[in-house]
Structure 1
Amino acid sequence: MMFLYPFNQKNGSPYPSQKAFESVLQKESIGHFGFNASNLCWHGGVHVSHNNAPWLKDESPLQAIADGVVVACRISDTYQHSTFEGQTLDYSSDFCLIQHTVANPKQSEETFTFYALYMHLAPLCSPHREVSEHPRYRLRTSQSAKMVEVTGESVSLDKGTIIEATNEEIIKQNGYGFKPFTVIRTSSGQWEEKTVWLAVEKDDPPSDIRRRFLGDAEQYQALLHDNKAWIEPDLWQPPRSLKRGSRVKALSLEPVRCGDYLMHAYKLLDSEETVWFVTGKYESSSSFFDTYADSYQLPNWLLTKVIARTRTEGLSGRSDPKNNTQGELEAGAVAFHLPKDTLLRFDKTQDCSLQKLNGKMRLMARCQLDPTTPVKNSSGQLAREVWVCVEDEFIEVVQADAVPLNSLHCFGTRSSLVISAGDAIGYLGRYDVANAEENKPPVTVRHQVHFELLSNEKPPQFFIDMYLGEADKENPYFVLADNSGCDGFLDLDEPSPFFQQLSAHTGKQGTSGFDILRNLVDWDSEKTVIAQHESEWAVKSSEKAFLPKLVEKVNKPRFTALIEHEKERIDNMIWLPEVSKLGLSNNVWNWWPIHYVESTDDVNDVYLVIMDEDISIEDFAQQTYHSKDKTVIDHILRTNPHLKRSFHQIVAGMPMVVSPYTYSHSGEADALSFADKLMTEFLTLNDEQKAWYGKNSALVNHTALMLPPSESGGIGWNDVVVGSTAAIASYQIIHDSFNNRLEQFAQFMDEANKELQYVDKANLKSHPKYKAYRQELKLLEQDLKGIFKQYWKPSYLKELQVPSINELFNVGNRQLYRTADFAESFRAINAAKVFKGAMKTSRMLGLAGDTAFLLGARNNIMNMWDSCDTNTLTEDCEKAFIKNGTSLVVNYQVGTSIMTYAVSLAPSSMGLSLVIGIGGTMLWGYYGGELTDSIGDVVEYMVFDLTIEDVKNKIKEFL
């Protein structure tokens, strides 16, 4: 079982170490574990308050420290009130008790059950979260809103404003989708209970479809086929039809949006008329709401009776679970596939449990299906009740009823109110403190939660080692069972044996009451104590013998009034007698509630890893951070949401984001977006192709970056330059020399392309510019091969190495990239398009067996030759075929590996004129060897460049 701290840092990230977390506890002077100096009493937990973690009041919740079930709770819709000297004090008696069961890792049949108590939680009332009909949100930045639909007066809502969703539909206007919300609470009180309209989504850029019907020329564009055009940018008007070949020229008028389409103005060159074409389509929208608003909902465990809607298509509906040999519940067999938006009903307090599914424990519930949307299996059987995974990624809650308020609930040890490590539990509640000292105000306002771990049985050694860590020889754990009947109060005149033993354990001198007080006052003095003692939540004030003794000893009216006030609150706090179904006695075991964390290594930047093997998330965590701690696992899942698309399986070729887990890094968002795009393309491959890509991702990606996009038309030298520069800039190596050489070549080819694009194939070879191009290309090849021989070696990866994750470079061929460099490199190109080309190459090359590979290579080259018919320099395609074909045969005969074939085929499969010169030759020249390169050059020269005159001249020279 993995354990977490009971809360995170203000920024939401876990604390980097046990020391860092405990330093926060130290900032609170009241309520230390073992002994509370403020009331001289035994204290089984620790206080978390506004003094040491103020963000827990409303911004971030306390969280479950491990998987478990809620077995008891008391939740109210208002604070309790007490009165002292005419002052009203608010306090919370609300609590949540979670049962955790841990198995001995060396002997699974041995288990230990303990409980985590969160006392004084904030009730469900203003100014906290409340039960609401619809989801609520909090603005994290000030936001402009409309008062009447999307055309009314604009108002500004302050940061922190609470709003509630409505059932109204989204209205589209000017590229945004607007939705109405009810204002619940603002800092100024203005606009409360009013309806405002906020932008919740933004249209993505439209797809550009001009290349589908417009062909480029130097001075104009011509229609590739008959096409519709409009006199005005209004699709509701009847269009006119323009014939194929009609000449048009783009005008500088602003494009106009019409519904989901974008229209541009063009001039008809034959008639000088202005017409409008549909040039793009808005096909999708992105959430805009998430950029300025956060959920302001109740913790999920409070919502018990739920109506939800499935988020995904084909979500499995399963049969009843069964127990496996490890005592875990295994999810049942798939019985139905539920369509997207299927309505489900389930009760968390009834049939709900954690079940193992694909190697991972998942929250499952027995759900009733809405009869108005029938679901049938292949046999026509109608689904009535099925087990469904009801985690947030699979379902969307439509309506939910909270646990009944203002009463104590005990669900028993077999509770099905499942909770997972990291789930929100609640927030700091008010616990105002009365004061009887002179010259001090009678009331101090506090926000706090008492966090405590307790058990009925003495913690076994395996649990102590697991939770607290192995004991220090110089400071061993001190196990103390109170048999003296101590009531929990340190009587300074007559200290009980229990407190005397606690004091002796500190190793400090003195046996008097004041000596003991001095010895126990340090915040961590009892950190190694595991003690059995009467719980402060077990008996009413009338049974606490020390209270009347104190009144008699002090004998002051104000102090007597204070004790009477406290007795009333003690009686309202007691809960242990009301949860008898749990079998807890009044005397419980307590220990230091903060778990021991093994040392971990964090990274200092954001990286993208292309995996070269199938591996579990836990093993990936161990390799990357040297830890399998739940905190690290959760961080990996959070920063790799695309894992949901692979059912949380890491496979070879998959992108993974690696980022600091101890703090939030600004580069994470870009990394997640980039990884998601790669994952989309990765999922188009079959299993064999995925594995091949995992082994050869760096090579394929580099080659793809060297190539212009196939749909760009023409030679596309600018794309070559940008792509090649990106490949180098991403590693911060030889950027300038490589870039300058390619820019020189690009300038030459821009000129050559303009002259050669209209030259017939029959006349191409004799054209002077073409001969100049051939010579320039050979010079470029020589220069680039020299550069790459020098720099493109595995050692260049060391430039990116991070000390804490060095082993990532020592696992097969795994590649790791700094995403910041990628972002810089790709700013001028479409990264998704480039890597789509890389994935396409993998599909072509991911073939098994020598015979299959050779046949596939031949087919790829033939397809390349056919696809080159529309290219400007079509002869290059034939040359690529001859050169690659020859080299492939030679390489095959000498046993060259698939990597060499990949280098030679990766460019040619793209079907572009200079793929050999820029993509294949320079990479192949390094990886494939000089011999096959030379043979390919000779054959190419003999087929294409050797003329009769050359032969005659050679014969003459020989003779």
Structure 2
Amino acid sequence: MKFAFPILTAAGEEFKDIKALTALINGEKSGHYLLGNHNKWHGGVHISDQSAPWCKDKYPVRAIADGKVVAFRMMEDYLTSEFQGESLRYSNCFCLVQHEYCEINAETKAKNEFTFYSLYMHLLPWKQYQTAEKLVLKKGWNARNSVPHANPDAEQQRADAALPRFALPKDTELEMDSSTPSQKGSVGGKEYDFIKVIIKNKLSSAQMSEAEKAGVLASEGSSVWIANSPDAVTFIKPNLPTWLFDQIEAELLTNMIGRADPGVDGPTGRPVAGKRSVSLPAGTKLQYDAHQLEFHWTGDKARKMARCKYVTPSVDTAPGSCGVAWVCVEDKYIKANTLPPTHLGELYVLPSPVAIAAGETIGYLGLVETPGSLIGGKESKHQVHLELFTQDPRLDDVLANKAGTKGGTIYAKVPADLVLHEKKKQDGKDQWVATGGKSLEELVESPKIEKDAAKQEWAGTSSGKYVKKEQVELLSQHDWLKIGFKKVDGSGSDGYLDSEAPPTFFTDLVNSFDTDKSGELDSKEIQAALQNNGNREQLNKLIVKHPSEWYEKSSASSYLWLDKLMAKIGLPDFDKLVDHEKQRIDKLEWMQSAAKLRLDTEVWHIYPLSILQKNVHSLSITYEQLRSIFPEASKTNLDIVLDEVNSNLERFKLNTRTRQRHFFSQIRGEVGVTMEGRTESWEYSPAVLRSFSSYYRANPQESEIDGYKKDSKGKIIRRADQQAIGRKHFQKLNGNRSSNPSDGFNFRGRGLIQITGYEKYNGFKSEYSSYWSGDVPDAVEQPNVINVMPTAIRSALWFWFKYKVYLSDNNNGFSDVPSVTRRVNGGSVGLDERKEAYKIIETILK
């Protein structure tokens, strides 16, 4: 299961770590976990345009983990409510994703698992989505009324220099004028494609005045010409949520069999693909509902099937046929085109949940306008409410780490009153000397562990001092309860912190983490404790059972507090405000109405970023970093490698920056900046064959036959006989089988870190299922599969771990490159390329 940050940075990059994202969200003025505005329970967090304005329409909110979209409500446009003559817009759009959490003990195969949901409320409604590609300026950039000449002569250069121009400021948003084609033009001796664009955001009066003086009409909605340069212009394509689309039109890319309705396999109960009913040639048009997909089994494989309307292509003068059949609609077989969604404006529980990957688009921040005061006015902001909850009783086993899973971040639980030591140099050696201080009880994340000359191990504390390692308890990130997570049961609470009579629930919340509190707490003390950012780390470890604010309508008993509050305050027009809030509550409810989901009124709420803190590694590699290492790699391959590596940093011993640098420098040194698997070439000259092969030194005449031959001008006129080289030199190497003369040639080096020889190809095939699920790539019968993603990166990870390449990293950085290379290549072949790569990667993976 993969996890992802719910938003990107302002630059469109991944956050450096969970702490950076937490700090951003903690800076929100409202919408914090456990207690929100108006002294009311709040089960999630808000991400708004106060902290992340780029999520309004630039970079969307994303799925935090792999899962399935099980329900949504996407309205055509904003809802409106009226208060004191003011029309107030708001969004009740949401998306609900179901996730299957699973941690596996690598040794015992025991599992910690439970089902949880992520909820994204107040999403941008359908009509507000950007439909055209947007342009954003990375820096100040000239706008013009007309295009300079292309390849100008001297007179044209003088004329172009006098053309009016005005520098639009950085971050100006633009839209292509699709009715006007681009034109070539030269500026400063450099040719550009000039494009006509429409200015989409407001400029200040001073900027518009300056543009007018320069002779350029620059204001919101005006059209100007700019030079299209990747150094200055970013193109942002619309990010539409794919889970929303149900009606699909597609075309078959290959011949296919249409099938009848599925049957059921007796022993397993699986749906089995129906009988063949029609032959569908390539080019057949299909139409189907992507929310009604099913998996039907054919043999030992489950195929993604849809009940399709089909029209076969006409042949000569004979018209095509039409009908209905079940067809396999996996991506490799069809070219698909989505039609406008058909479930807008309704609460929709999907009949067949749609898979969504961590990091995929959920949507953008929706506008929420609220009354400014009792007499009118309004306050506006764009926001999304993000919430995690579960009703799965298996949560208890996960919290207790019943499966005993290990790995990930390590914590040291330091007791109070241990003797503190400090590290000092004595006679050139490190010594740990007792100080007069005593330790405080604390939990240290990723403690520094060191060993002295007598083999005594020491654990670092947050003060920089040390205690003996055997005196502390080392815990993994999977030991939820031991590292401070706690459950608080708020069943039956109405979620209102009454100023005169604070409910027991809120007192329990504070006492669960603030053990120094004694006696009764008043509402002000409770509010201060729950809204104090100094308590935020402890608050975020509370897992709280509470009625969901999305379950009941305003007529339910859980909202009686609103009427009591109205009676207590007794201000003029306060009753109108209460009526206004009740109308919105009724429109926001969805859980009870989505009865098919069988969600309880009371669920366990989890701070959304806590599950990320446990599962998004602080050493995760970002897309931008990997792209900088492999600038010519495809986006598809970059995404695959990121998923495979970031999901397995601990498992495959890529859990330090130096190990990561060595791993990727070996790949870049082996296959270059394209990051594509390649097959080793043995295009050797006779002299080179004799230089490394004892066989060819003993049989020099055969080196002349098997090596390549050049003419007098140095042009190769005969290629090397690589199959012969494989039989004669490589046959007895790399675990190749003596009974299979073709092994040497068949199992040449392939992949990203080139695995070589039958022993490694077969070893990878044999051990594949220990690391990955799904079909096992047959690297023995089809060795070229090692060059194809994701097998290419998986074989590299397997080799790195299996042959303990990571142990050659002695934390010496660049000076360890030769020893790592020897572990990979058995010598120094390619060492210079790897050294160069390491120097580059060291500046990227800091």
Q: What's the TM-score bracket when you normalise by the shorter of the two chains?
A: 0.5 to 0.7
CA–CA separation in structure 2 for the residues paired with 1:674 and 1:569: 43
- Report the 3-state secondary structure (helix = DSSP H, G, I; strand = E; otherwise coil) of the residue aligned with 1:39: helix
CA contact (8 A) 2:264 2:272 kept: yes
The aligned residue for residue 419 of structure 1 is: 356
Pair 389,586 (structure 1): closer, same or farther in 2 beyond 3 Å: same
Q: In the alignment, is residue 85 of structure 1 matched against residue 95 of structure 2?
A: no
Displacement after TM superposition at 1:478 (Å): 2.5
* 1:407-446 aligned within 5 A: 407-411=346-350, 415-436=352-373, 442-446=377-381
- Report the 3-state secondary structure (helix = DSSP H, G, I; strand = E; otherwise coil) of the residue aligned with 1:667: helix
The aligned residue for residue 513 of structure 1 is: 523
Displacement after TM superposition at 1:669 (Å): 6.3
The aligned residue for residue 739 of structure 1 is: none
The aligned residue for residue 289 of structure 2 is: 347
Q: Deviations over 1:851-878 (max 9, x none)?
A: 9999999677347676415549x9xx99
CA contact (8 A) 1:324 1:330 kept: no
- Report the 3-state secondary structure (helix = DSSP H, G, I; strand = E; otherwise coil) of the residue aligned with 1:402: coil
Displacement after TM superposition at 1:520 (Å): 1.5
The aligned residue for residue 300 of structure 1 is: 242
The aligned residue for residue 205 of structure 1 is: none
The aligned residue for residue 371 of structure 1 is: 312
The aligned residue for residue 6 of structure 1 is: 6
- Report the 3-state secondary structure (helix = DSSP H, G, I; strand = E; otherwise coil) of the residue aligned with 1:542: coil
CA–CA separation in structure 1 for the residues paired with 2:227 and 2:254: 31
**Which one of 305, 329, 352 corresponds to residue 388 of structure 1?**
329
CA–CA separation in structure 1 for the residues paired with 2:218 and 2:100: 49
The aligned residue for residue 456 of structure 1 is: 391
- Report the 3-state secondary structure (helix = DSSP H, G, I; strand = E; otherwise coil) of the residue aligned with 2:41: strand
The aligned residue for residue 256 of structure 1 is: none
Letter in 1 for 2:543: I
Identity of aligned residues (%): 24
CA contact (8 A) 2:258 2:325 kept: no
Q: Give the structure with higher Rg (CA).
A: 1
Pair 169,451 (structure 1): closer, same or farther in 2 beyond 3 Å: same
CA–CA separation in structure 2 for the residues paired with 1:68 and 1:197: 45
Pair 473,671 (structure 1): closer, same or farther in 2 beyond 3 Å: same
**Which one of 167, 174, 178 corresponds to residue 161 of structure 1?**
174
CA–CA separation in structure 1 for the residues paired with 2:733 and 2:563: 93
Displacement after TM superposition at 1:7 (Å): 2.0
Displacement after TM superposition at 1:92 (Å): 0.6
CA–CA separation in structure 1 for the residues paired with 2:713 and 2:245: 62
CA–CA separation in structure 2 for the residues paired with 1:852 and 1:583: 73
The aligned residue for residue 401 of structure 1 is: 340
Displacement after TM superposition at 1:426 (Å): 0.5
* 1:616-655 aligned within 5 A: none
Pair 405,587 (structure 1): closer, same or farther in 2 beyond 3 Å: same
Pair 452,837 (structure 1): closer, same or farther in 2 beyond 3 Å: closer
CA contact (8 A) 2:4 2:612 kept: no
The aligned residue for residue 486 of structure 2 is: 478
The aligned residue for residue 633 of structure 2 is: 672
Displacement after TM superposition at 1:550 (Å): 0.7
- Report the 3-state secondary structure (helix = DSSP H, G, I; strand = E; otherwise coil) of the residue aligned with 2:392: coil
Q: Deviations over 1:507-543 (max 9, x none)?
A: 1525222222222222525312222211111222232
CA–CA separation in structure 2 for the residues paired with 1:474 and 1:386: 51
CA contact (8 A) 2:283 2:312 kept: no
**Which one of 704, 722, 726 corresponds to residue 861 of structure 1?**
704
CA–CA separation in structure 1 for the residues paired with 2:185 and 2:685: 42
Pair 120,867 (structure 1): closer, same or farther in 2 beyond 3 Å: same
- Report the 3-state secondary structure (helix = DSSP H, G, I; strand = E; otherwise coil) of the residue aligned with 1:557: coil
Deviates more, 1:61-70 or 1:51-60: 61-70
CA contact (8 A) 1:28 1:47 kept: yes
Letter in 1 for 2:2: M
Displacement after TM superposition at 1:75 (Å): 0.9
Pair 397,481 (structure 1): closer, same or farther in 2 beyond 3 Å: same
* 1:836-915 aligned within 5 A: 839=681, 841=683, 861-862=704-705, 867-868=710-711, 871=714
Letter in 1 for 2:348: H
More helix by share: 1
Q: Deviations over 1:478-502 (max 9, x none)?
A: 222334x321101121111211211
Pair 355,863 (structure 1): closer, same or farther in 2 beyond 3 Å: same
Gaps of 5+ in 1: 131-135, 203-287, 375-381, 603-624, 626-631, 633-659, 680-800, 824-830, 903-925, 929-959
Pair 329,853 (structure 1): closer, same or farther in 2 beyond 3 Å: farther
Letter in 2 for 1:667: S
* 1:438-837 aligned within 5 A: 442-458=377-393, 460-464=395-399, 469-471=477-479, 476-483=484-491, 485-507=492-514, 508-509=516-517, 510-523=520-533, 524=536, 526-543=539-556, 544-594=559-609, 595-597=611-613, 660-661=621-622, 664=625, 667-668=628-629, 670-672=631-633, 804-806=657-659, 814=666, 816-817=668-669
Q: Deviations over 1:149-179 (max 9, x none)?
A: xx9xx9999963345989x9999999x9999
Displacement after TM superposition at 1:125 (Å): 1.9
Alignment RMSD, CA only? Answer: 6.5
CA contact (8 A) 1:76 1:124 kept: yes
Displacement after TM superposition at 1:432 (Å): 1.5
Q: Deviations over 1:224-258 (max 9, x none)?
A: xxxxxxxxxxxxxxxxxxxxxxxxxxxxxxxxxxx
- Report the 3-state secondary structure (helix = DSSP H, G, I; strand = E; otherwise coil) of the residue aligned with 2:528: helix
Q: Deviations over 1:407-463 (max 9, x none)?
A: 221225xx233322222110000111223379xx83211111111112333452344
* 1:243-254 aligned within 5 A: none
Pair 851,585 (structure 1): closer, same or farther in 2 beyond 3 Å: same
Q: Deviations over 1:819-872 (max 9, x none)?
A: 9xx88xxxxxxx99xx999746289999xxx99999999677347676415549
CA–CA separation in structure 1 for the residues paired with 2:235 and 2:27: 31
Q: How many residues align?
A: 595
Pair 473,437 (structure 1): closer, same or farther in 2 beyond 3 Å: same
CA–CA separation in structure 2 for the residues paired with 1:143 and 1:352: 54
CA contact (8 A) 1:436 1:558 kept: no
- Report the 3-state secondary structure (helix = DSSP H, G, I; strand = E; otherwise coil) of the residue aligned with 1:77: coil
Pair 335,803 (structure 1): closer, same or farther in 2 beyond 3 Å: farther
CA contact (8 A) 1:113 1:455 kept: yes
CA contact (8 A) 2:134 2:174 kept: yes
Q: Deviations over 1:53-87 (max 9, x none)?
A: 21111111111122322222111121111223332
Deviates more, 1:455-464 or 1:80-89: 455-464
- Report the 3-state secondary structure (helix = DSSP H, G, I; strand = E; otherwise coil) of the residue aligned with 1:447: strand
- Report the 3-state secondary structure (helix = DSSP H, G, I; strand = E; otherwise coil) of the residue aligned with 2:82: strand
Pair 493,156 (structure 1): closer, same or farther in 2 beyond 3 Å: same
Pair 20,365 (structure 1): closer, same or farther in 2 beyond 3 Å: farther
- Report the 3-state secondary structure (helix = DSSP H, G, I; strand = E; otherwise coil) of the residue aligned with 2:633: helix
CA contact (8 A) 1:160 1:187 kept: no
CA contact (8 A) 1:78 1:125 kept: yes
Displacement after TM superposition at 1:673 (Å): 6.9
Q: In the alignment, is residue 55 of structure 1 matched against residue 16 of structure 2?
A: no
CA contact (8 A) 1:352 1:418 kept: no
The aligned residue for residue 121 of structure 1 is: 123
Gaps of 5+ in 2: 151-162, 204-216, 316-322, 409-475, 641-653, 736-743, 746-826, 830-846
CA contact (8 A) 2:202 2:220 kept: no
**Which one of 115, 134, 138 corresponds to residue 134 of structure 2?**
138
CA–CA separation in structure 2 for the residues paired with 1:28 and 1:574: 24
CA contact (8 A) 2:683 2:708 kept: no
- Report the 3-state secondary structure (helix = DSSP H, G, I; strand = E; otherwise coil) of the residue aligned with 1:519: helix
Task: Using structure 1 for the length normalisation, give the TM-score.
Answer: 0.49
CA–CA separation in structure 2 for the residues paired with 1:129 and 1:477: 41
- Report the 3-state secondary structure (helix = DSSP H, G, I; strand = E; otherwise coil) of the residue aligned with 2:327: strand
- Report the 3-state secondary structure (helix = DSSP H, G, I; strand = E; otherwise coil) of the residue aligned with 2:27: coil
Displacement after TM superposition at 1:575 (Å): 1.2
Letter in 2 for 1:806: R
Q: Deviations over 1:373-426 (max 9, x none)?
A: 79xxxxxxx9964313238xx8654342214222221225xx233322222110
- Report the 3-state secondary structure (helix = DSSP H, G, I; strand = E; otherwise coil) of the residue aligned with 1:100: strand
- Report the 3-state secondary structure (helix = DSSP H, G, I; strand = E; otherwise coil) of the residue aligned with 2:120: strand
* 1:352-363 aligned within 5 A: none
